[in-house]
Amino acid sequence: NQRTAETLEAKLREAQATYGRQWKGLILDLRGNPGGLLDQAVRSADLFLATGRIAATRGRHPQSSVNHDATEGDLAAGIPIVVLVDGRTASGGEILSSALQDRGRAVVVGTATYGKGLVQTVIDLPNGGEIDLSWSRLHAPSGYALQGLGVLPNICTSGNAANRGLNGLAAGESGLAKTFAQWRTVATGNTGVRKSLRALCPPEDGTAEAEEVARRLLSDRALFTKALAPTGAVAGLRP
């Protein structure tokens, strides 16, 4: 949809006008989102980020390597954000969720995402046909390639793991920082390790449990901050 970012911006401004200082949190539901246009995903993330990297594309051709950086202010004015994802969240949905997660702007809840991180370009043929050419790979702000790996949520809901994750956070026992570091530094060609990392939070369809987790995080600022912490610890890593 070529108006995704425009529509989202309008909704954010409407929420600001309606709730003002009473606006305490935001849930972005990207479950089942197959993606869409690259520029719309980047512009949507830009609505929540004032500066810094949103995404990057890297390929063999020099023109395929592009950095996408934030240029707008944060329309949500720094309020806590929870992003819901599942195994069908792909492409543009992964750009948005990884950008907000890596930049420490949102807590991601759900399962490992699909892992579709290729950018295609269309070449027109003289006979009216077309060739879809995979042009580059999508990289999250911390540098890792999304293709075949996807986004690892801060709170995993696979196999009813959400309560364990929340209880571990509350008790200060989360071991996510190490897992996040491995996720962000594994080599693109190391398919075995990438597969084993995805198995830590297997892709599944979204459930109502994720929504309950999101509401609990937004109602407890201390718990939300703890959920953000592992992301901040590895935000500067590059593979």
- Give the 3-state secondary structure of residue 164: helix
Rounded Cα distance, 85 and 155, in Å? 10
The Cα 86–Cα 151 span in angstroms is 9
- B/e letters for 185-199, b = 16+ CB within 10 Å, e = fewer, are ebebeeeeebeebbe
Of the candidates 44, 91, 136, 142, the residue annotated as catalytic is 91
Distance in angstroms (rounded) separating the CA atoms of residues 72 and 148: 30
Catalytic site includes residue 116? yes
The reply to whether 24 belongs to the active site is no
H/E stretch holding 94 reads helix 92-102
**What is the end-to-end Cα distance of the chain in Å, rounded?**
32
- Report the distance separating Cα 8 and Cα 48, nearest Å: 11
**Annotated catalytic residue: which of 46, 97, 102, 174?**
102
Annotated catalytic residue 91: yes
Phi, psi of 214 (to 5 degrees): -60, -45
In b/e form, how buried is each residue of 91-107, taking b as 16+ CB within 10 angstroms? bbbbbbbbbbbbbebbb
Annotated active-site residue in 44, 116, 142, 174: 116
User: Contact at 8 Å (CB) between 122 and 130?
Assistant: yes
Where does residue 30 rank: exposed (0-12), middle (13-18), buried (19+ CB within 10 A)? buried
Helix (H, G, I), strand (E, B) or coil at 28: strand
Residues with catalytic function: 91, 102, 116
